[in-house]
Amino acid sequence: MLGIAAALLLLSSSALGATYRRSDNIVGADFYTKFSFQAIPDPTHGRVNYVDQATAKAKNLTFASHNSFVLRADDTTVISDSSSVGRNSVRIQSNKAYTTHVAVFDIAHMPQGCGTWPALWELGPNWPAGGEVDIIEGVNDQGTNQVTLHTSPGCTMPITRTETGTSLSLDCNTAVNFNSGCGVKLTPATSYGPAFNRNGGGWYALERTNSGISVWFWSRNALNVPLDVRTGLSTVDTRLWGTPSATFPSTSCNISKFFAANNIVINLTFCGDWAGSVYSSSGCPSTCTSYVDQNPRAFAGAYFQFNSINIYE
Marked catalytic residue, from 122, 132, 163, 207: 132
Measured distance CA(66)–CA(87) in Å, rounded: 28
Q: Catalytic site residue 132?
A: yes
Q: Catalytic site residue 207?
A: no
Could you tell me the pLDDT band of residue 18, with boundaries at 50, 70 and 90?
A: confident
Pick the CATH number of 22-312 from 3.90.1570.30, 1.10.4190.10, 3.30.830.10, 2.60.120.200: 2.60.120.200
Strand 62-64 vs strand 235-237: parallel, antiparallel, or unpaired?
unpaired
Region 57-69: mean pLDDT is 98
Instruction: Indicate the burial class of 18 (C-beta count within 10 angstroms; 0-12, 13-18, 19 or more).
Output: middle
Could you tell me the pLDDT band of residue 33, with boundaries at 50, 70 and 90?
A: very high
Percent of the chain with pLDDT over 90: 94
Instruction: Give the three-state DSSP class for 249.
Output: strand
Marked catalytic residue, from 122, 137, 163, 207: 137
